[in-house]
Amino acid sequence: MEFTLAITGASGSIYAQRTLMHMAASGVVERINLIMSKAAVTVAKVELGVDLTKPERGTLNRWIGLPPDSRLIQLHRLDNIAARPSSGSHPQEGMVIVPCSMGTLGAIASGAGTNLIHRAADVTLKENRRLVLVPRETPYNAIHLENMLRLSRAGAHIIPASPGFYHRPQTIEALVDHLVFRILDHLGVPHSGATQWRGVKESTGELISATED
Ligand SMILES: Cc1cc2nc3c(=O)[nH]c(=O)nc-3n(C[C@H](O)[C@H](O)[C@H](O)COP(=O)(O)O)c2cc1C
């Protein structure tokens, strides 16, 4: 499987990092075309203390826990509108933008994109491939909401970065991963996490686990 993963300047760089990690761990993803906006680099520095300005292959691989010489991730420059993801004739399963800023969301919703992230998303929609958007902003204004509705009607999967708590996460990673597994569900990528709701026991109100099913 091949996907494009774009990181933009919304808060939540850790969602991108852990989506990359779990895609790599799936064993079925052979290539990830990675694109980062300038704001994504700024936010990753603020939130994770990582410097992704012109990253070497080794830096990127280390960031997501891959061997230094792994070629799973192919980084494309934001202004390289001739890169593979810019063409529908390049076969791939789909694209995820995680986290997705309101700026990028608006550019895609308007169809007036100017960079490789916008173009690749536009191509994904026109080719009827899976486009997963993970918007993050609070509160949403009417423009944000209308853009999301527009994109949903065009076929995009809108998965806001609003994590659940019913699995009782004990760490930030567990909180983040619950959302990441939902992203992978929508991309059709297998993962290690149980995200299926199995109900609660009537007697105790406790969650029914996968092993009790
Ligand atoms: C620390 C930080 C956090 C931000 N958080 C958000 C956010 O959660 N959502 C959002 O839409 N924009 C957020 N922004 C603003 C975007 O980065 C900004 O609008 C940028 O132009 C988006 O560009 P891009 O879509 O090309 O990444 C944040 C900026 C900074 C510096």
In this prediction, residue 201 carries a pLDDT of 82
190 alpha carbon – ligand 1 mean position (Å):
30
Nearest residue by C-alpha to atom 30 in ligand 1? 43
pTM confidence score: 0.95
Structure confidence at residue 173 (pLDDT) = 96
Nearest atom, ligand 1, residue 115 CA: 26
Q: How far is the CA of 195 from the centre of ligand 1 (A)?
A: 29
Distance, CA 77 to ligand 1 centroid (Å)? 19
Q: Residue 74: which residues within 8 A CB-CB, separation 6 or more?
A: 31, 32, 33, 34, 84
- β strands within 45-196, DSSP E: 73-76, 94-100, 130-135, 157-158
Q: Which residue has a Cα nearest atom 18 of ligand 1?
A: 9
pLDDT, tens digit (0-9, with 9 covering 90-100), for 3-21: 999 999 999 999 999 999 9
| Res 197: pLDDT | 67
pLDDT along the chain (213 residues), means of 10: 98 98 96 98 97 90 94 96 96 97 98 96 98 98 98 98 93 96 97 76 78 69
- Sheet strands (E) in the chain: 2-7, 31-36, 73-76, 94-100, 130-135, 157-158
Q: Ligand 1 pocket: which residues have CB below 6 Å?
A: 8-11, 37, 39-40, 42-43, 46, 101-104, 136-137
Residue closest by Cα to atom 14 of ligand 1: 10
Q: Which distant-in-sequence residues (6+ apart) come within 8 Å of 20 by Cβ?
A: 5, 32, 34, 63, 64, 73
